[in-house]
Homo-oligomer: A and B are copies of this chain.
């Protein structure tokens, strides 16, 4: 889960932001610039949401300090509404700006957009199995066997990708369910089995080809990628 640092002195605003982001992200909080900078040194955040108006060290300073050593995306929250101030403020190296009062939903949308952009830079490329017999296109969510589309559902595809991304490792049904359906999923073991069955059937795999059942433990992906 991606880690986001919220730097905001007003507790109320911090809380609202947190409530909107915590379902998708791992939230850390700092109430002033000093705390922010010391937290920043200890963790690798994926995004920083930074209030401009902070006690002691200002948001601008925090932003500039961080920029000297890191390219982490920064969204700045500014209370100054006059356009003049914003233009002056826009060169501290932030990636985006929101003027208070802002809509938390918009903040969420911008957060997603920025994180998408930064994760898009190393976009997953085509995965080829068995010298081209299978081709997997992560962006397109498709799998082809000898040019013919296998038509996996999104859950099936996610399970397959999880196995591939952890190739060689045995993943328990629980680990797979956590990854694919989310932690709150509390269904039966057989759910994963059913999906695995469908994947094997749709990709026409033998039971020991690529997706191997590890008796008493789970499944693992084997074979050259």
Contacts and interface: CB of A to CB of B under 8 A. Distances in A.
Given A155-B216, A168-B140, A215-B154, A95 B105 contact: yes
Given A87-B100, A140-B170, A110 B220 contact: no
Given A103-B184, A110-B183, A140-B170, A216 B97 contact: no
Contact of A109 (B94, B153, B184, B216): B184
A123 to B, nearest CB: 10
A95 B106 contact: yes
A3 interface: no
Given A91-B16, A170-B139, A174-B109, A103 B186 contact: yes
A186 B107 CA distance: 10
A113 B83 contact: no
A178 interface: yes
Interface of A: 12-13, 16, 80, 83, 86-87, 89-91, 93-97, 100-106, 109-110, 112-113, 116-117, 137, 139-141, 153-155, 168-170, 174-175, 178, 183-186, 214-217, 220
